[in-house]
Structure 1
Amino acid sequence: MADLNNKLVIAISSRALFNLDDSHQVFIENGLDAYSQYQIDHENDVLQPGDAFPMVQKLLRLNERLGAPRVEVILLSRNSADTGLRVFNSIEHYGLNITRAAFCGGESPYRYINAFGSHLFLSTDADDVRNALDHGVAAATLMASNSESDHGDQLRFAFDGDAVLFSDEAEKIYKSQGLEAFTASERAAAKKPLSGGPFKAFLSALQGLQAEFSEEDAPIRTALVTARSAPAHERVILTLRAWNIRIDESLFLGGLDKGEFLRAYGADVFFDDQPGHCHSAREHVATGHVPHGVANEPSANESIVSDS
């Protein structure tokens, strides 16, 4: 019996994988029936790659490097199977080894994320992403970007810390009491590991793949890119050590804009909970907004990313 055990499983929406802007505009302007007919009329027209396409290509190439199917990409779509035929035709055109899918006929596909054993869900629909996070799966709303990584087949992930890899417990103190109280609290709790955030399990699964390669030849590289600075750095380092998780690069920026650093690192995708940081980063790298934690509560000062 087929199963997905011992695989890194990425679930992705059709609009994250391919550029469906034209057909989506038909849906917005003319409704579902017109959209369905448009997709059927164009089902043999190959879709252009979307923002997640380069990352998916690199993920699937890991199977070639490993000589075994250790990465699985699942398509989750609000399309029906009928209108989704264009998506699968495009998958075949590009030679992507994606064979499993859930076409949900207009309803949200997030309910199948756990059934597929997904470690990560990427979508352009913010509501689906929030539902996935509420059900314990790392998820992000992909924001449009024109930037591409230039590191060949090496796959480079970048993560924010608080409310992404870690819980938002420290960020709550910063938001409610300010930088001085945050710094004092983190210094006092330096030896106490932070609780895990929504992306801890994904990072752990990713490192499981990294461990199958030597450090010199690893096709995956990870970076922590955080607004923290000394002395708040110590708790982060000791937390990762307690989790037995290795991060290849750690950038403690002390509030500096993250965009230029992400460009210099060459991230294929960057995950952050702060909408402001995401809008800055998307100018340089593909960016996923993680609508989790205190920064995304209705009372937060920053606006929440809308569907894109």
Structure 2
Amino acid sequence: MPVSFDGKLVVAISSRALFDMADSHRVFMEEGVDAYCQFQREHEDEILAPGVAFSLVRKLLRLEGTDGGVEIILLSRNSADTGLRVFNSIEHYGLGITRAAFTNGERPWRYIPAFGAHLFLSADPNDVAQALELGYAAATILPSAERDAGSDEEREVRIAFDGDAVLFSDSAERIFQESGLEAFSASERAQARSPLPGGPFKSFLAALHQLQRRETAAGDTNPIRTALVTARSAPAHERVIRTLRHWDIRIDEALFLGGLAKADFLAAFGADIFFDDQQGHCEIASQQVATGHVPHGVANQSPQPEESETVRSG
């Protein structure tokens, strides 16, 4: 019988999200493909330093003992030849990553459905945007505050999400952007019992929830903790709560911040990664925790005012 990922959480990740490849990427950008290939061959026995998503990936792989487990797939624009350095580094760190697609410059996100990936993390915003366009959960890993790659000994994985345009559609966000806070609040109050449509990360949250549910049923300590960290406040909270109830998806913590800056709350939660649709919010959060920008929805369709943590739907 063929190998199956049924019951597994599958995360696809690019080389530059997993490892610090700043030097080789600089060669690629400044000198071109041939120089890059030569650079990678000359340095293939030099181990790459951990990248922004390294700690998250290592903690996820420690869940392999759970019912179903986790599969990490490498999706890389490297060729198999230049990707040898990446696999050497994977082996050095003892990461249980055995499957990869090296596309030699072609679009790696084409293989997301073939692998059944619930999430795609990349340092390339164009690849992320294309994956989102096709309906896959994807985020651009931002340069983030450095973390000690050896400080993640705790087994629990903590993942935080913004709400609108991430877990939920951007329908409410559009009202806020077009008509302001008062209209947004009135609309959410009127539709409090109408579930929000799902956003690009609904399926990923559902996959996390299924893994949590299996752990709870087995009587084990749950290794995953999730949080909604949103700029919504009352009365816009009710529709969110009822939406998650309608989806039958549990979220462990919900922070309705009413416009307060999210970064300190994410640090207090201990997020291993945070996903938000607004670039400005991501840049602030990345000073505290690993952050993925989700370039989806109305906030990413036209130039936005200078970002601040205003009272909005998010």
TM-score under structure 2 normalisation?
0.93
Q: Is this contact kept in 2: 1:7–1:71, CA < 8 A?
A: yes
Deviation at 1:129, TM superposition (A): 0.2
Query: Residue in 1 aligned with 2:115?
Result: 116
Deviation at 1:210, TM superposition (A): 0.9
Deviation at 1:298, TM superposition (A): 2.6
The letter of the residue matching 1:24 is: H
The 3 A distance-change label for structure 1 pair 219 and 122 is same
Deviation at 1:7, TM superposition (A): 1.4
Deviation at 1:69, TM superposition (A): 5.4
Which residue of the other structure, out of 229, 234, 244, is the alignment partner of 1:230? Answer: 234
Q: Is this contact kept in 2: 1:296–1:302, CA < 8 A?
A: no
SS of the counterpart of 2:81?
Answer: coil
Structure 1: distance between partners of 2:112 and 2:163: 24
Q: Is this contact kept in 2: 1:189–1:235, CA < 8 A?
A: yes
Query: Residue in 2 aligned with 1:27?
Result: 28
Q: Is this contact kept in 1: 2:139–2:275, CA < 8 A?
A: yes
Q: Is this contact kept in 1: 2:6–2:68, CA < 8 A?
A: no
Deviation at 1:300, TM superposition (A): 3.8
The 3 A distance-change label for structure 1 pair 302 and 122 is farther
The letter of the residue matching 1:82 is: D
Structure 2: distance between partners of 1:228 and 1:146: 26
Structure 1: distance between partners of 2:50 and 2:63: 19
Query: Residue in 2 aligned with 1:102?
Result: 101
Which residue of the other structure, out of 165, 168, 174, is the alignment partner of 2:167? Answer: 165
The 3 A distance-change label for structure 1 pair 100 and 69 is farther
| Correspondence 1:205 to 2:204 | no
Per-residue deviation, residues 165-221 of structure 1 (Å, max 9, x unmatched): 000000000000000000000000000000000000000001111112238821100
User: Structure 2 matches for 1:3-152, cutoff 5 A?
Assistant: 3-64=4-65, 66=66, 70-148=69-147, 152=154
Structure 2: distance between partners of 1:150 and 1:2: 30
Deviation at 1:70, TM superposition (A): 2.1
Deviation at 1:302, TM superposition (A): 5.8
User: Structure 2 matches for 1:254-265, cutoff 5 A?
Assistant: 254-265=258-269
Unaligned runs of 5+ in 2: 308-314
Please give the root-mean-square deviation of Cα atoms over the aligned residues, in Å.
1.5
Structure 2: distance between partners of 1:290 and 1:24: 22
Q: Is this contact kept in 2: 1:133–1:139, CA < 8 A?
A: yes
Q: Structure 1 vs Structure 2: percent identity of aligned residues? A: 65
Per-residue deviation, residues 103-156 of structure 1 (Å, max 9, x unmatched): 011122111111111100000000000111111110000001124486722100
The 3 A distance-change label for structure 1 pair 163 and 151 is farther
Structure 1: distance between partners of 2:176 and 2:226: 26
Structure 2: distance between partners of 1:59 and 1:136: 23
Structure 1: distance between partners of 2:64 and 2:75: 21
Query: Residue in 1 aligned with 2:311?
Result: none
The letter of the residue matching 1:241 is: R
Structure 1: distance between partners of 2:42 and 2:7: 40
Query: Residue in 1 aligned with 2:186?
Result: 184
The letter of the residue matching 1:98 is: I
TM-score under structure 1 normalisation?
0.95
Give the ranges of 4+ consecutive aligned residues of structure 1 lying more than 6 Å apart after TM superposition: none
Unaligned runs of 5+ in 1: 304-308
Structure 2: distance between partners of 1:113 and 1:134: 13
Query: Residue in 1 aligned with 2:302?
Result: 298
How many residues in Structure 1 have an aligned counterpart in Structure 2? Answer: 301
Structure 2: distance between partners of 1:275 and 1:281: 10
Instruction: Name whichever of 164-173 and 150-159 sits farther off.
Output: 150-159
